Amino acid sequence: MGCSKWRAVFNFGHLKAQSKLSVFLTMIIIFTYLFYCLSGYCESLPRPVYDQQTTFINKILGLNDELKQQKLDPHKNSSPGSVVRELPGFDSVDSLMQGNDNELRPDNNISIANNFGSKTFPQAIIIGVKKGGTRALLEFLRIHPDVRAVGAEPHFFDRFYDNGLEWYRNLMPRTLESQITMEKTPSYFVTKEAPRRLFALSRHTKLIVVVRDPVTRAVSDYTQTLSKQPGLPSFQSLTFRNSTTGLIDTSWSAVRIGIYAKHLENWLRYFPLSKFLFVSGERLVTDPAGEMGRVQDFLGLKRLVTDKHFYFNQTKGFPCLKKPEGSSRPRCLGKSKGRPHPQISPEVLLRLREFYRPFNMKFYQMTGHDFGWD
């Protein structure tokens, strides 16, 4: 009975041989596809590209530091890779932030579906410095159609090196031949092993360092820590090892990170100066288009990010992005960027400025660029 039913379904006797063949082939294709999907491979098939660049979708500014900490802290059995898996769209971490209307956040109703291209190791990395303006630079770069970048900080060359190169490559977005892959992890600049590890992977990687007056950078760093630990001792007490002698505590990371010449020396043992671009964190705020021009030249990109992309937001006190393509509103960085700094005694700041002066001079000499911090 069952057999005769099937015979009826597959009874092609009335069809010509040619038609039979095409029906047969069609069925083979359908069965193969069904088998493929049931085996779980459908997800890896190329999907339509709703937004070829996906840069707009990926715009995440000011990743919530606490959330980042929580997601990326290896001691909590997490990793950047797990962020990718846990959240719909790697870059949408910021969508969990509380924020004002102008915060840059992804449009969650559009899915990221760029499965074309391949995942490659970054050709350019923003290696530092913490609180220099690295997030702003990355997000401004992501407007460029030939740039694709990881939203969160991978921390591969400092925290997750043991996860292996394939783990790192897998974090990268897919890129087409014409596009470059980028990531930013500001702690690489001050990580002793980072240059050696990166050099072992590729000596051709372009390195971008966003630098900012080390004194304001230290205050910014302190402000960030204070926002997470309200009971933190004062800036003054952390700055000095001995307040009577005025000896600066260089073991405090907020101070140590600002000794740029020392960290750069470590990098120059592996990479020539020509591989570096030093971006002024100050100019990134006062003249974002100008600084972006230099960055695009360095990366060999057409100068497509220009002054028409920026406007100065008076409330935020920083440049923000005018309506990016496909978006209905302007976008500023999140609340964790551009926090008001606490008042620090002018004497403390002066002492710190004196401390940094020789290191700054050395840094200007090494880079051939006077950043005007003194």
Ligand X SMILES: Nc1ncnc2c1ncn2[C@@H]1O[C@H](COP(=O)(O)OS(=O)(=O)O)[C@@H](OP(=O)(O)O)[C@H]1O
For the annotated binding site for 3'-phosphoadenylyl sulfate, the residues are 131-135, 212, 220, 337-341
Encode 250-267: b = buried (16+ Cβ within 10 Å), e = exposed.
eebebbbbbbbbebbebb
Site pattern 181..220 for ligand X (x: CB under 6 A): -----x---------------------------------x
Cβ nearer to ligand X, comparing 49 with 285: 285
Least Cβ distance, residue 160 to ligand X (angstroms): 17
Q: Does 330 bind ligand X (CB under 6 A)?
A: no
* Residue among 143, 333, 348, 352 that touches ligand X (CB under 6 A): 333
Q: Does 337 bind ligand X (CB under 6 A)?
A: yes
* Residue among 122, 195, 319, 324 that touches ligand X (CB under 6 A): 319
Q: Does 136 bind ligand X (CB under 6 A)?
A: yes
* Residue among 59, 71, 105, 131 that touches ligand X (CB under 6 A): 131
Stretch of residues binding ligand X (CB under 6 A), selected from 71-79, 158-166, 266-274, 331-339: 331-339
- DSSP string for 255-303: HHTT-HHHHHHHHHTTS-GGGEEEEEHHHHHH-HHHHHHHHHHHTT---
* Residue among 55, 58, 64, 134 that touches ligand X (CB under 6 A): 134
- DSSP string for 160-205: SGGG-HHHHHHHSPEE-TT-EEEEE-GGGGG-TTHHHHHHHH-TT-
**Cβ neighbours for 155, distance < 8 A, ≥ 6 positions apart:** 72, 80, 185, 187
Cβ nearer to ligand X, comparing 81 with 330: 330
Q: Does 339 bind ligand X (CB under 6 A)?
A: yes
Q: Does 154 bind ligand X (CB under 6 A)?
A: no
Cβ nearer to ligand X, comparing 220 with 367: 220
Identify the active-site residue in 59, 130, 131, 184.
131
DSSP state of 20: H
- Report the alpha-carbon distance of residue 249 to residue 306 in Å, rounded: 42
- Report the alpha-carbon distance of residue 234 to residue 342 in Å, rounded: 10
- The radius of gyration of the chain from alpha carbons, rounded to an integer in Å, stands at 26
Least Cβ distance, residue 36 to ligand X (angstroms): 42
What count of other Cβ atoms lies within 10 Å of the Cβ of residue 181?
Answer: 22
Which of 335, 326, 322, 323 shows the shortest CA–CA distance to 107?
326
Phi–psi pair at 354, nearest 5 degrees? -65, -40
Which of 194, 158, 148 shows the shortest CA–CA distance to 80?
158
Cβ nearer to ligand X, comparing 114 with 153: 153
Cβ nearer to ligand X, comparing 63 with 171: 63
Q: Does 318 bind ligand X (CB under 6 A)?
A: yes
Q: 71 catalytic, yes or no?
A: no
Q: Does 348 bind ligand X (CB under 6 A)?
A: no
Q: Does 175 bind ligand X (CB under 6 A)?
A: no
The answer to whether 342 touches 226, Cβ cutoff 8 Å, is yes
Q: Does 135 bind ligand X (CB under 6 A)?
A: yes
Q: Which of residues 220-239 bind ligand X (CB under 6 A)?
A: 220, 223
Tokens of 288: 């974002």
**Cβ neighbours for 351, distance < 8 A, ≥ 6 positions apart:** 239, 240, 246, 248
CA dihedral in degrees (177, 185, 57, 105; nearest 10)? -170
Least Cβ distance, residue 244 to ligand X (angstroms): 30
Q: How many residues bind ligand X (CB under 6 A)?
A: 18
Site pattern 275..304 for ligand X (x: CB under 6 A): ---------xx-------------------
Q: Does 352 bind ligand X (CB under 6 A)?
A: no
The answer to whether 320 touches 309, Cβ cutoff 8 Å, is no
Residue reference for tokens 């970054």 = 122
* Residue among 89, 132, 154, 258 that touches ligand X (CB under 6 A): 132
Look up residue 284 and give its amino acid.
L
Q: Does 112 bind ligand X (CB under 6 A)?
A: no
| Binding residues for ligand X (CB under 6 A) | 130-136, 186, 220, 223, 284-285, 318-319, 333, 337-339
Residues recognised as catalytic = 131
